[in-house]
Amino acid sequence: MDDGEKKLKQEDCSEDNLGAGILTLTNKRLAFDKTRARMMDFSKHMGDTILDIKLKDVTKTWKEGLLMKKICFTAKTDEGNQTYKFGVFSTNSWLKSIENAIDENKNQ
């Protein structure tokens, strides 16, 4: 993490296209780290950070789903606008936290 960066929220979840990993929200960015798990000894190992998006690049946030609830956001990347959908436990809490972090980041 960078200087002055604070972890606001973190959860073990799954993204529709990227698979299982850990979603992390800081006061500066959203990051997704791929994980590998072994059933034999119930261990989980952190992999590479495959998604690292600055909050200023997030253009839209929303939640969707009735049974399988997801927190979603669209962000500007090198490949153009990309949409990501993460299956997290508390979509309301995640949505509020992301929107608050984006607002606070704009004011800095």
In a domain, 19, yes or no: yes
**pTM exceeds 0.85, yes or no:** yes
For residue 108, tell me if it sits in a domain: no
pLDDT at 35: 85
Tell me, yes or no, whether 87 lies in a domain. yes
- Taking the C-alpha atoms of residue 49 and residue 69, their distance in angstroms, rounded to an integer, is 24
Q: Where are the alpha helices (DSSP H) in the chain?
A: 91-107
**51 inside domain:** yes
Number of domains in the chain: 1
The verdict on residue 1 lying in a domain is no
pLDDT recorded at residue 40? 59
Q: Is residue 39 part of a domain?
A: yes
Domain that holds residue 85: 7-103
Look at residue 36 in the predicted model and tell me its pLDDT. Answer: 75
Residue 2 in domain: no
CATH number at residue 94: 2.30.29.30
Per DSSP, the three-state class of 107 is helix
Q: Give SS3 for 55.
A: helix
In the block, residue with structure tokens 């997290």: 88
Q: What is the pLDDT along the chain (108 residues), one digit of tens a residue?
A: 677 889 999 999 999 999 999 999 999 999 999 887 766 566 666 678 889 999 999 999 999 988 889 999 999 998 899 999 999 999 999 999 999 999 998 877
